[in-house]
Chains A and B, each alone.
Chain A
Amino acid sequence: MSGNGATSGGDPTGGGLVDAVPETVIETEVPPLELVGVHAAYGGIEVLHGIDLAVAAGEVVALLGANGAGKSTTVKVCSGLLPPTRGAVRVVGHDVTGVPSHELARIGVCTIPEGRGVFPNLTVRENLWMATQVTGERAELEEAAYARFPRLGDRRTQLAGTLSGGEQQMLALARALVTDPAVLLLDELSMGLAPIIVQQLYEIVAQVASDGISILVVEQFAQAVLGIADRAVIMVNGEITRVGTPAEMQSELSNAYLGG
């Protein structure tokens, strides 16, 4: 994946991001991640009723919706943890429906699941070691991670469970990024974190996107993520009800949340 000159990642608020969308779409016609008519259920109770969604290379798509809308379920389907009951999941055009998540991880679909991106009883180093199951040498990955997050370097022998919430998510992000994924799925990265830390994390996400990674960001509260998203998708009761630019969404969302 090549970098995209038009997306200047450091700018979280500028309209330039939105302008860049058409370019990226043209650049790669096959989206790295695509859901087609996906239905999913837990034990016979359907919670996703036909989701269509595509994330282009270098694009950040924000998936928004109230608690219980089915956002995490969508992420589980993308990452292979939950096979869809109907519909298809495609990665760079290949049908990967029903492919187990450990294989998806190897071909570059990387997920930070909701609320728990780290192994609390492993040290920082050991957490990063787990990433080598995807790809890479242990020493290299560690070096890359500490270069990006020096704070983790200082805490390398500490148990991940004893890190602060922000540091834990840093570790989760580090673990994800060092494997150089094609698709990154982030489920409520901001949960329980201070706004300033969320801001920092999202700046990193925007930067990564500018390297050409496709990113699906799930959030309940929209403000922080709309700053870096190229597109926003609103989900209600297992269906996508609205797609648009962050700017268009801004007003829409306040209605949706206050109404719900």
Chain B
Amino acid sequence: METFLQYTILGLVAGGVYGIAASGLVVTYTTSGIFNFAHGAVAMLSAFTYWQLRFGWDWPAPLALVVVLGVLAPLLGALLYGVVMRGLRGTSEVARIVVPVSVMLGFLALSTWVWDPTPRSPRLFLMFFGAGNTVSIGGVNLAWHEITAVVIAVVVALGLRFLFFGTRTGVAMRAVVDDPDLLELNAGRPERLAMASWALGAFLAALAGVLITPMMGSAMSAHALTLLVIDAFAAAMFGRLRSVPRTFVGALVLGLLGSYVIGYFPSDRWTWTGNFRVSLPMITLFVVLLFLPQDRLRGATVLRSRERYRLPSVRTAVVAAVVLVAGMWLLRGILAPTAVNHMAFGMSMAVIALSLVLLTGYAGEINLAVLSFGAIGAIIVHHFGVSGSGGDARSTLFGYAAAAVVCALVGALVALPSLRLRGLYLALSTMAFGVFVSNMLLRDITERQLPLLHTRFSIFPSGNLGVPRPKFGPVDLVAMPTFLMFLTVLFAVLGVGLIALRHSSYGRRLTAMKDSPAASATLGQSLVTLKLSVFMLSAAIAGVGGALMTAQIGSANLDRFDIFLSLTLLMLTVVGGIGYVSGALFGGIAAGVLFVALQNTFDKLGVDHPDLEGFFEFLANLTLVLPALMGVSIGRNPTGAVEKILVDFGPVRRVRPVLVAGIATVGVAYVLARNETISNWWLIVVTAVVIGVMPQAAKRWAPGPSEAAVDGTALPAADGADLPLELVGVVRPYTVADREMLDAALDVPAGKG
């Protein structure tokens, strides 16, 4: 009985702190409708800053607290809203998820920049009032810190309740998310209220951060603190991200469950108890999602979303595919073996990113943990798809097919609970799934006896998953250059396939669902089957890609499938242009090659030029933060970089001399690089300069001024059939012809729509 009391009290303490963190999420979501994925990162930054002031520089605790909680955190929250989140009003759900995720990644990069993640002596964050300073309650020893945490949690819960229901400002905060315009028509200030609530949210995150860090026991970990957001959102989900009291109830349930798991699961026999405890929030989240009532479908999102994708014809896609394969062939000729390695890794990431183009770009749904599906794909190939052993081991076609099927099925399981709900919930489930895979599956490294099969089996043997390179029939892909070409061809084929799919009636139904779920529901489409099928297809691609990625490396440890890598890949693909196959190419290469290469270069430069080392170290760190900055910027240009390049290159195609001169210059540079007259870096520089200069030159020598084509906002002519389906009715009113075209596109019998 005494132990029960003990675990109950400890659970309540943990639940209280979760509650504080989760209520911060509720506060920001309530007023801005933006789910703050960076919430945990704010807690993390605050905890590190507090540590710096209090333990690094020996400030007195009260002063450090006032500075962190009273000044820095609210300021950070207000800035976050004012600079980043405010611009997201009226953008698509994708942008509203990816931008906060980018902020989270940016904060994480920032923290490793300022606070070396592998310090010489571990950073210790001591409890307030000292860890030894305890009192005994019912035979349970509690530190004053823990008692304070519970008291603060109660105060926060009551205070927020009062704010939201007892003050006009608080009620107005609730009104903001319903209808900011209407609030403004009532003389309210939605922008100010939203900013205030983000300041409050950041304050709560910081409060939770400084309270929970010392309770996490070991040395401070930026990643663990950042993932606090997941515990918080599982709790917040109890209150549908809206209700503070129910959020606190959820937090207490989570805290207690976690405590009882630690207390009563036999950790000596069940090696996975600790992992299970860490995965609890995810499991809870899934259960809660099953019981959440359906959201109201909202129409008219079309008018506001700012992404506009052009859809290339299948013929253009085939040409582009051939150019890509040929280009890679040429490039392969001049790359050093290590560079071929990097490139192959990048291409395997690009294949994974293709799954995102299908899911997010075409269907508007989000998967925050693609690499977790990749991990499952790799596990399947490792266990069921390898023939031969030692140097002769090869992965088999059967293995990859099995990986695709299993991943599709797992994808269905992950997606099912949240398919009825809005995209955000699906995104959250996938993130929860990702953490679950990392914590449970990939840490399941000890062998165990399988009950029926009488074999010994472990999912992730000794923490390293070996997948040899494939051999399909007579085609042996063991040599890295060959494997690189295979990956490129695979990417090209899948890419053309996706574009063809997008042209099919299935693809048009996906687009309709993305643009207006309400409208396509009234057209009698079953959104659930549509979403489910596209999610499964996408998971299958991710699974195969993940297995290929593992085959590229040869053997992968669990860090390769880290949730933060999944998020980075998604973010970079969105930066490239999630609606485009080329966006996946950009995302994969950027995630797999570009930033690694840049950073290596700066590191190397730093070693070569010791006098400038500080500067190059700065640049190297900057490249870590850079992707996040790019991700944040997509709030302003949601269509992505590829679109911009396409638009810029519009005039180039019409000015032959410029085109020819450009290609010739790059060609000469290539030949020189091939002869090793110049280094590959020069080839890259020349190519970059040519790409930069060509649009300018074309504009200069263009035959006639054609402003519309140069203007980034220019849209296809109003008459043409080339106006993308999703823009009809947006850039100009509907016409009878459009109605017929839409009917045909959506397979509705004419006249019925």
Chain A residues engaging chain B, CB cutoff 8 angstroms: 43-45, 68, 79, 81, 100-103, 105-106, 110-111, 113, 116-122, 126, 129-134, 138, 175
Contact = CB atoms under 8 A, between A and B. Distances in A.
B187 A119 contact: no
Interface in B72-129: none
Contact of A113 (B175, B182, B732): B182
A36 to B, nearest CB: 22
A105 B171 contact: no
Contacts of A116: 179, 182
B175 A119 contact: yes
Given A117-B182, A121-B242, 5 more contacts: A105-B184, A105-B187, A120-B178, A129-B171, A130-B171
A129 B187 CA distance: 12
B674 interface: no
Contact of A119 (B179, B184, B189): B179
B153 to A, nearest CB: 25
A102 B188 contact: yes
A121 B178 contact: yes
B26 to A, nearest CB: 13
B168 A133 contact: yes
A151 to B, nearest CB: 21
A130 B731 contact: no
Interface residues of chain B: helix, strand, loop or mixed (majority): helix
Given A44-B713, A119-B175, A122-B171, A130 B186 contact: yes
Interface in B156-179: 168, 171-172, 174-175, 177-179
Nearest to A112: B185
Interface in B706-753: 713, 731-733
Contacts of B188: 102, 130, 133
Given A44-B713, A105-B184, A106-B187, A133 B733 contact: no
Contact of B186 (A45, A120, A133): A133
Contacts of B242: 121
Nearest to A76: B181
Nearest to A135: B187
A210 B191 CA distance: 37
A259 B398 CA distance: 65
Contact of B168 (A110, A121, A129): A129
B180 to A, nearest CB: 10
A127 to B, nearest CB: 8
Contacts of B184: 81, 100-102, 105
B726 to A, nearest CB: 16
A129 B177 CA distance: 16
A133 B172 contact: yes
B181 to A, nearest CB: 6
18 contacts: A45-B732, A79-B185, A81-B184, A81-B185, A101-B181, A102-B189, A105-B187, A113-B181, A116-B182, A119-B175, A119-B178, A119-B179, A121-B178, A130-B175, A132-B168, A133-B187, A133-B188, A138-B168
B61 interface: no
A138 B171 CA distance: 13
A30 B179 CA distance: 33
Given A120-B178, A132-B168, A175 B713 contact: no
5 cross-chain pairs, A with B, having the tightest CB-CB distances, nearest first: A105-B187, A133-B187, A134-B187, A119-B178, A119-B175
B690 interface: no
A105 B186 CA distance: 6
Contacts of B168: 129-130, 132-133, 138
